[in-house]
């Protein structure tokens, strides 16, 4: 086990990017708090962390529920005394649809998870980091390439991820006096269940369907570890980690 690096809270930690990232943080010596909706996957990942020789607790959490988020950070403080790193990773997409056909329920669900949930977790983390001694910590938000460049038929996802950028910049600004650093990682086509559809072709801006390359999710986890490893007088405000050949730079 690596030397203790502090305490990390990761949302959406039961699978995909969250799982890869929390395992990487545990491998670096962080005690980890795993948050997500489903208890069983969280406990499975916590067992993997225990096998690495690190400490972990699983806390089933609905990030869109203020009381649930309060309980998450209370559990982190109770178990480990403080919070040093938070990776706000939890998020969802809605069924693809043109703007005029988007159901409000689908819009609301994405806003609740991707924007309200991220805000609630960031706010709770900020409160803990401001009050603890030594003061400070680092908040990392999962933005997505859609935070700057939208895909068609995904207005709810695009809008919420643009909103994540505003939250990130606000925390980076207001956190300065309290040694609270905040950055955003924008991810393009990490190979997870969420991007499996890329292998069968996805709608492009010109109306065509194209298979898009994906990258190993480990590249994202390595980025999270790097951002977390910096001293609090340094910050990665934005980082883009993407599949090299995906249609993004230029005109596709």
Our count of domains for the chain comes to: 1
CATH number at residue 13: 3.40.50.720
Q: Examine residue 180 and state whether it is found in any structural domain, yes or no.
A: yes
Determine the average pLDDT of the residues in 126-141. Answer: 98
- Can you give the residue range of the structural domain that contains 55? 6-242
- pLDDT above 70 covers a percentage of the chain that reads 96
134 lies in some domain: yes
pLDDT at 1 over 60: no
Average pLDDT over every residue of 143-163: 95
d(CA 141, CA 18): 12
Residue 249 lies in a domain: no
Strand 137-142 relative to strand 85-88: parallel, antiparallel, unpaired? parallel
Mean pLDDT of the chain: 94
In a domain, 247, yes or no: no
Residue 142 lies in a domain: yes
The confidence score (pLDDT) of residue 4 equals 72
pTM beyond 0.85: the answer is yes
148 is a domain residue: yes
Q: Which comes out higher in pLDDT, residue 13 or 205?
A: 13
Q: Which residues are catalytic?
A: 157
In a domain, 248, yes or no: no
Q: Is residue 233 part of a domain?
A: yes
Q: What is the mean pLDDT of residues 88-105?
A: 96
Query: Which residues face 140 on adjacent strands?
Result: 87, 183
Query: Could you give the angle at which helices 66-80 and 117-131 cross, rounded to 10 degrees?
Result: 40
For 3-45, the pLDDT digits (tens) are 578 999 999 999 999 999 999 999 999 999 999 999 999 999 9
């Amino acid at each position: 086990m690596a030397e203790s690096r502090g305490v990390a809270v990761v949302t959406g930690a039961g699978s995909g990017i969250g799982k890869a990232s929390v395992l990487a943080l545990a491998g670096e010596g962080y005690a980890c708090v795993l948050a997500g909706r489903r208890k069983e996957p969280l406990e499975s990942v916590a067992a993997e962390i225990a096998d690495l020789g690190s400490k972990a607790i699983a806390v089933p959490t609905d990030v869109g529920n203020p009381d649930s988020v309060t309980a998450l950070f209370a559990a982190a403080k109770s178990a480990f005394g403080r919070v040093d790193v938070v990776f706000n990773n939890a998020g969802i997409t809605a069924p693809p649809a043109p703007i005029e056909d988007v159901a409000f329920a689908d819009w609301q669900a994405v806003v609740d998870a991707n924007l309200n949930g991220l805000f609630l977790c960031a706010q709770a983390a900020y409160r803990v980091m401001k009050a603890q001694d030594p003061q400070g910590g680092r908040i990392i938000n999962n933005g997505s390439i859609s935070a700057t460049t939208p895909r068609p038929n995904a207005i709810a996802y695009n809008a919420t991820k643009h909103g994540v950028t505003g939250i990130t910049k606000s925390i980076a600004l207001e956190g300065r006096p309290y040694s609270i650093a905040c950055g955003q990682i924008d991810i393009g086509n990490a190979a997870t269940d969420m991007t499996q559809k890329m292998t069968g072709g996805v709608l492009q801006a010109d109306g065509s369907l194209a298979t898009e390359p994906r990258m190993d999710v480990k590249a994202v986890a390595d980025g999270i570890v790097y951002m977390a490893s910096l001293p609090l007088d340094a910050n990665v405000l934005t980082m883009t980690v993407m599949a090299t050949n995906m249609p993004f730079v230029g005109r596709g």
